[in-house]
Amino acid sequence: MMDDLFNVVMRNGVDATVVCQGELDICAVPDVSAALERALHASDGEVSVDMQGVRYIDSACVSTLLRAHDTLEARGSRLVVVAASPVVRRALQLLGVGDRLGLAGDPASVLAA
């Protein structure tokens, strides 16, 4: 398990941030899913995914993010990808999901929203 690479941090007692690091490939899906599940259960509001430390993301992890997004959207909230590295931002845009996931420049911009 790579739990130390996927931490869940609560903000303002309502919103949660999943902080990811390293390479998000198919091998990371179980750990990313578990971290997102923890955030979904802990949060009554928005979930952001801080991708500042992510060097690579594949379609399997993007699908995992989209499932979490759909779950949050169904309960009237949202998932936001924060501080995505250029590689991650490009991958999300190429897959056509950048706008759907709500890319934010940095964690402070999410707090201000």
For the chain, how many structural domains are there in total? 1
What's 16's domain CATH number? Answer: 3.30.750.24
pTM of the predicted protein model = 0.83
- Measure Cα distances from 9 to 4, 18, 26, 46, 73 in Å: 12, 6, 24, 12, 20
What ranges in 75-106 are assigned the alpha helix state H? Answer: 86-94, 98-101
- Measure Cα distances from 88 to 22, 79, 83, 112 in Å: 11, 16, 9, 23
Q: Which domain holds residue 71?
A: 3-112
Residues of the chain with pLDDT under 50: 1-3, 110-112
What is d(CA 63, CA 10) in angstroms, rounded to the nearest whole number?
23
In this prediction, residue 48 carries a pLDDT of: 92
